[in-house]
Structure 1
């Protein structure tokens, strides 16, 4: 992978860990996630006004991806309701690189070298191992965390194919995110009503900032997938668990054990192999 793509993806990983920490630290995570999506919608629509229309080939994938993102949002929020950031985040993010590599091979005909494949496996194994406690995978929200990983794989491959067909990473990202940002508030209103969404709460500004971070982070990832293998990009993005582990330790009162640090070392080795 080109060195600039590696650096951009690692930067996106840092941003991704940041907005997940903001979501995990919120009192009402469904509301926080929806406010994030509102921020995504507002900024995306504003940018779209200055861009050429999305190519016809990309629209179908943008719509499908937006729907998959809403499913991802709902599963992620549910997983955070019962588990720590340091447990649910690794399960969701660690399961996705291998799934994406397999799906990209089937649906996009991608092939990765043995070195990169070994790196992807090491990253996934290292990430998932962060969720273990005393050799046990005791995660209360395990089904939702795994479901989140499946949604990540589904929308990542969808976007990887869609952005290549559209030939315009920025345009595709903006329109897909605009659709996603509009759909999620619609789902929230259906569940709780418009008044609940529009009522001012103390965490509004932080949630809005989190939305901007998520837009920038995923925009970088879509750009990277337009010219690099999806599985490799995904594995590099999931190094965000390293940042999440540190954020959880310093700001959310979660533990950082020797075992977790060893897992982080495995992830770092896998990252080097991918690079």
Structure 2
């Protein structure tokens, strides 16, 4: 697993942590997520013009995943309103690999070996330890982060099944699924108006620019994951992807000046050891 495919998934982990940091570092995360979604949807619109259609069997999964991703975006924004990056991100990401492994076992009868199970448990446990160490977590904040984790697991299992039915068209599958991100600006304008979407353009154009960059990073990050899900075990790919939390801790420390304790660094080592278990 940790050959070149695993290396690309680790790259996706770095990219994923990066765009989450961009989102969290923005004062208006709903607007930032909307501009990220516009970039994602615009690129996807171009891609579908030059790629073949996925197989018909994949279309129910494309639609289901696209809709779940919109729910995910909303829960992620809500989670970041209640927690800092080093807390919300690990809870959301740490809860998903075990759920993905369970979902893959239930719906595709996918099994992983004992060492891989240990690696998944270590990654999930270490990630959640990072989130909860030395902090008081409100019930509302924990619920928001866990809800995000559930949506991550749901869309990962959906995409793991769907891309395998796409007749090898992982790029087209990804693009068609991300077309649903056009719903985000519709949702934003319906709730806050068109003026609110454009208001930073004059005073702080950089905020829109960085959000657009974050969207491009996001589509690259998850596109890699969907490609890996074609052949890799869903739980293993998910767990390896969620090592992004280690990069999120580093980004939170270096760029957002968030405090990182010795216990949190130790938990990061546990996550790294779990990732190593997935290589055997």
TM-score range for the pair, normalised by the shorter chain length: over 0.9
- Displacement after TM superposition at 1:133 (Å): 3.4
- Displacement after TM superposition at 1:54 (Å): 2.4
* Shift in alpha-carbon separation, 1:124–1:52, aligned structure 2, 3 A: same
Aligned 8 A contact 1:83 1:140 in 2: no
Q: Which residue of 2 aligns with 1:260?
A: 264
* Shift in alpha-carbon separation, 1:111–1:252, aligned structure 2, 3 A: same
* Shift in alpha-carbon separation, 1:122–1:2, aligned structure 2, 3 A: closer
1:194 aligns with 2:194: yes
User: Helix, strand or coil for the counterpart of 2:274?
Assistant: helix
CA distance in 2, matches of 1:27, 1:6: 34
CA distance in 2, matches of 1:163, 1:120: 22
TM-score, with structure 1 as normaliser: 0.96
Aligned 8 A contact 2:36 2:214 in 1: yes
Aligned 8 A contact 2:133 2:264 in 1: no
- Displacement after TM superposition at 1:187 (Å): 1.6
1:209-239 CA-to-partner distances (Å, cap 9, x unmatched) read 0000000000000000011001100000000
Aligned 8 A contact 2:104 2:110 in 1: yes
TM-score, with structure 2 as normaliser: 0.95
- Displacement after TM superposition at 1:140 (Å): 5.6
- Displacement after TM superposition at 1:139 (Å): 7.0
CA distance in 2, matches of 1:137, 1:194: 35
CA distance in 1, matches of 2:198, 2:170: 32
- Displacement after TM superposition at 1:134 (Å): 2.6
Q: Which residue of 1 aligns with 2:44?
A: 44
Q: Which residue of 2 aligns with 1:182?
A: 182
Aligned 8 A contact 2:40 2:219 in 1: yes
1:20 aligns with 2:20: yes
Q: Which residue of 2 aligns with 1:217?
A: 221
CA RMSD of aligned residues (A): 1.3
Aligned 8 A contact 2:45 2:179 in 1: yes
Q: Which residue of 1 aligns with 2:236?
A: 232
- Displacement after TM superposition at 1:55 (Å): 1.9
* Shift in alpha-carbon separation, 1:39–1:191, aligned structure 2, 3 A: same
* Shift in alpha-carbon separation, 1:169–1:27, aligned structure 2, 3 A: same
1:130 aligns with 2:130: yes
Q: Which residue of 1 aligns with 2:30?
A: 30
Aligned 8 A contact 1:41 1:178 in 2: yes
- Displacement after TM superposition at 1:197 (Å): 2.0
Give the paired residue count: 274
CA distance in 2, matches of 1:136, 1:98: 24
Unpaired stretches in structure 1, ≥5 consecutive residues: none
- Displacement after TM superposition at 1:82 (Å): 1.5
- Displacement after TM superposition at 1:194 (Å): 2.5
CA distance in 1, matches of 2:78, 2:91: 14
Aligned 8 A contact 2:133 2:263 in 1: no
Aligned 8 A contact 1:83 1:139 in 2: no
CA distance in 1, matches of 2:48, 2:148: 28
Aligned 8 A contact 1:97 1:235 in 2: yes
- Displacement after TM superposition at 1:137 (Å): 4.6
Q: Which residue of 1 aligns with 2:3?
A: 3
Q: Which residue of 2 aligns with 1:170?
A: 171
User: Helix, strand or coil for the counterpart of 1:255?
Assistant: coil
